Amino acid sequence: MPTNAVALSRLLVAERLSLVRRLARIVGSESLAEDVTQSLYLRLQRLKDDPPILNQRSFLFRLASNLAVDYVRAEQSQARRNAEAHALLWAEPEALDPERTTASCLELARVLKAASSLPEPTRSIFRLHRFEGLRQSEVAARYGVSVTTVEKHVRRALAVLRKARDEG
């Protein structure tokens, strides 16, 4: 195991209580902070020795804070999507404007058609990242390509879908 990973894992064990307290302030609860701390440990195990980490405590706390902020953002994003889906699915029928409903259905049909016409691997990469929730690095590893390549495919898919949405 690389020395960066070993040293930071030991530091994590020594600083665990203060880390969890700090993370709890960011994520809102101690149990969620424990989850983020576990993610931190797993992230540390993937560290390499090049470049060597000189200020390990600072690095550890910065990485922990970044993971916590990413966690909060992901949760907020998921909550927004859930709220939008709930509003669409459970809106009172009389509250739905027929013209808006028709326009939305046409827009959805255009976007779905555009999505199904995306070339491979763009379609699969986009689906894995946006709908199955894989990180770009995970998709890159699955396809054996760089994260930059995954980003390019996602941007390309979004451009095609945006154009299809706006054509109406």
In one-letter notation, the amino acid at residue 157 is: A
Q: Where in the chain are the domains?
A: 1-90, 97-168
SS3 25: helix
pLDDT digits (tens, 9 = 90+) for 34-85: 999 999 999 999 888 888 888 999 999 999 999 999 999 999 999 998 888 8
Query: Would you say residue 96 has pLDDT above 80?
Result: no
Q: Which of 1, 22, 6, 20 minimizes the C-alpha distance to 56? A: 6
Q: What is the pLDDT of residue 3?
A: 85
pLDDT digits (tens, 9 = 90+) for 107-129: 889 999 999 999 999 999 999 99
Q: Which two tokens stand for residue 143?
A: 């396809």
Give the model's confidence band at 17: pLDDT under 50 very low, under 70 low, under 90 confident, else very high: very high
- 130 CB contacts (<8 Å, ≥6 apart)? 154
DSSP H helices in 117-146 = 122-126, 136-143
Q: What is the pLDDT of residue 24?
A: 96
Query: Would you say residue 94 has pLDDT above 70?
Result: no
Q: What is the pLDDT of residue 1?
A: 61
Q: How far is CA 59 from the centre of its chain?
A: 22
Q: How many residues does the chain have?
A: 168
Q: What is the pLDDT of residue 167?
A: 84
Domain 1-90 - what CATH class?
mainly alpha
134-150: burial string, b at 16+ Cβ within 10 Å, e else: bebeebbeeeeeeeebb
Please state which architecture CATH assigns to domain 97-168.
Orthogonal Bundle (1.10)
Give the model's confidence band at 4: pLDDT under 50 very low, under 70 low, under 90 confident, else very high: confident
SS3 3: helix
